[in-house]
Amino acid sequence: FFTAAFTLVQSLRSGSLRTIMANCLNTSTAKRSKHATAKLVRTITSNVHHLMNDVGHHDNKVRANAPIWPDISSLQQKNNAQKIDRKQTAACLLARPRPPQELMRLSTPADAFKAMRSGMAAATDARLCCGNGDSNGEGPSLQQQQLPPLAPSGGGSGGGGMHVPFSRLRMHRVVGTGQFGIVRQVSDASNGRVYALKIMSKASMVEGKQIEHVSNERHILDAVRDCPFCVNLVGAYQDAKSLYLLQEWVPGGELFHLLDIEGSFDEATVRFYTANVLLAFEFLHAKGIIYRDLKPENLLLDAQGYLKMADFGFAKHVGGDKTYTICGTPDYQAPEVIMRQGTTKAADYWGLGILIFELLVGDTPFKSLTGDPWDTFRQALSGRFYVPNFISDDAADIIFKLLQVNPSKRLGSGPNGAAEIKSHRFFKGIDWEALEQRKLPAPRRPRLLNPLDTSNFDNFDDCEVPAPPVPEQVAAKQPSWEDWEWI
């Protein structure tokens, strides 16, 4: 790594862009996807930039010198291979490791940071995940939560308020995959309306102890049906082998995919996208729901170029209480989540600060040089991060105020909630009422050739695996799934 970094530093000093790109590409293997190569180049470039420039941290708001950012847009092309997946938590829910006990015994983030610097908190399995929220004092289980009543299975604004019989659905391409199933584009044979169908194996869900998560996601989706910035639920179905969530089709693909192509966005674009996210948070928090899994991969672009929040597997209805489950992506986890001090809406606003930074810079502020999430956690607990000089003062200020280690001092954590963030000068010029009514022009609109166009998604056709039969011993443990319509 140090040899590669030194070579890159020399390349930067000599101004040889061709050498930079060649060195980055040489570090990749034949198996590395173009998505992964683009992410590698962006990460290494960011790290070398930090080594070459005098930088400061948020305590005194010292800004970095003018950075040298090579143009690597030619490398950031759409691929047909597997994209980078940062869902470490979802990929290892079977293991469910806890943070090191030394870290758990420490009372404050400052103590934790000092302890980890002295080597008390050794790095563990890099793929961290969460507790299940129903034991060890980690907060109320799904059955204990006061969730809103379920609407009929087939309703929802995404489906035009009409029930869609499963038998009318025509299956098309696979547009997403996960540990427990796939997402497929489907259409209604009667009217041609396009939807996204999330297909999950019952056997995998039971064996992976994901019963509560999928049930929780179904309830949360019902609660956010009327939010224009959240993916709407159309129907929930089941058969002997699988569970199905029918949702509105969002054709623009992941924001992460667009970010990977462009590297970073200008401030006006970031302002628009994060304003979309803030309105989604305002809607969720008003219903007592915290999201807990913000990242570009979970934000989809609709046909008008607006964002819709997707994947509510980690969202939770807490009302005015706290939840103590550890979940989410390490790069986006708030200090109080890491320390199990109780998660509130303030953790979502921490994620908003990370998102603003990543969309402006192209990488997260607490990115580990080694890939070890505990390095990321140490940096997050310290509250120290570097801001490149090209970020405006307004953008830097809102990032600093959102990334406060103490959640009670974090922008948006007060009684006015999202209104505090809306009034920040970074969002000056945003007409919030017009945005909520979707009357503002989006900075980008996806190019769509036809209603079934999936060009904004990666090709996962070869990843489809039929749902395995449910073993007898697993079938005996299956819940009733009463809220899911049988087909």
Whether 174 and 263 share a structural domain: no
Q: Are 28 and 37 in contact (CB under 8 A)?
A: yes
Mean pLDDT, the chain, rounded, equals 73
- Two structure tokens written together for 413: 């954590």
Tokens of 408: 């009670």
Which run of H or of E encompasses 115? helix 109-117
Q: Select from 184, 165, 168 the least CA-distant residue to 176.
A: 184
**Same-domain check for residues 288 and 410:** yes
Residue 182 and residue 312 share a domain: no
Same domain, 366 and 477: no
| N residues, the chain | 487
Higher-confidence position of 390 and 111: 390
pLDDT exceeds 50 at position 365: yes
Are 91 and 134 contained in the same domain? Answer: yes
Q: What is the pLDDT of residues 329-361, one digit of tens each?
A: 899 999 999 998 988 899 999 999 999 999 999
Look at residue 79 and tell me if it is in a domain: no
pLDDT tier for residue 269 given thresholds of 50, 70 and 90: very high
DSSP 8-state code for residue 468: P
Dihedral sign from CA coordinates of 156, 157, 159, 161: positive
Query: Taking 60 as the threshold, does the pLDDT of residue 458 lie above it?
Result: yes
- Phi first, then psi: give them for residue 245, nearest 5 degrees: -115, 115
Helices within 182-298 (DSSP H only): 202-207, 211-223, 255-262, 267-286
Let me know if residue 219 belongs to a domain.
yes
Judged against a pLDDT cut of 70, whether residue 385 lies above it is answered with yes
Residue 115's domain comprises 87-140+257-447
Could you tell me which residues are beta bridge partners of residue 425? none
Give the residue-averaged pLDDT of 278-302. Answer: 96
pLDDT tens profile 441-450: 999 999 999 9
In a domain, 304, yes or no: yes
pLDDT at 463: 65
pTM score, two decimals? Answer: 0.70
pLDDT of residue 160: 47
Backbone angles phi, psi at 166, to 5 degrees: -60, -30
Residues 175 and 301 in one domain: no
Same domain, 222 and 191: yes
| 86-95, 243-252, 471-480, range with the lowest pLDDT | 86-95
Which stretches does DSSP call E strand in 314-408?
Answer: 316-317
Here the CATH number for the domain that contains residue 348 is 1.10.510.10
Read off φ and ψ for residue 476, nearest 5 degrees.
-65, -20
CATH number at residue 205: 3.30.200.20
Q: Are residue 297 and residue 371 in the same domain, yes or no?
A: yes
pLDDT in tens, 399-446: 999 999 999 999 999 989 999 999 999 999 999 999 999 999 999 999
Locate 284 and state its tokens.
Answer: 């969720």
| Domain identity same for 399 and 323 | yes
Would you say residue 286 lies in a domain? yes
pLDDT above 70 covers a percentage of the chain that reads 63
Q: What is the DSSP letter of 303?
A: T
Residues 6 or more apart from 446 whose CB is under 8 A from it? 251, 252, 253, 301, 303, 305, 456
* Residue 149: Cβ-neighbour burial (10 angstroms; 0-12, 13-18, 19+): exposed
Q: How many domains does the chain have?
A: 3
What is the C-alpha separation between 368 and 364, in angstroms, rounded? 9
Q: Has 198 been labeled as part of a binding site? A: yes
Distances in Å between the Cα of 392 and the Cα atoms of 267, 272, 312, 388, 398 are 8, 16, 33, 9, 10
Of 230, 355, 357, 353, give the one whose Cα is nearest residue 285: 230
Tracing tokens 């054709």 back to the chain, one arrives at: 251
Asked whether residue 58 carries a pLDDT value surpassing 90, the answer given is no
CA distance 28 to 161: 49
Same domain for 47 and 126, yes or no, is no
188 is catalytic: no
Is 72 part of any domain?
no
Catalytic residue among 222, 293, 331, 458: 293
- Bigger pLDDT: 254 vs 62: 254
Domain presence at residue 73: no
Same domain, 442 and 453: no
Same domain, 266 and 210: no
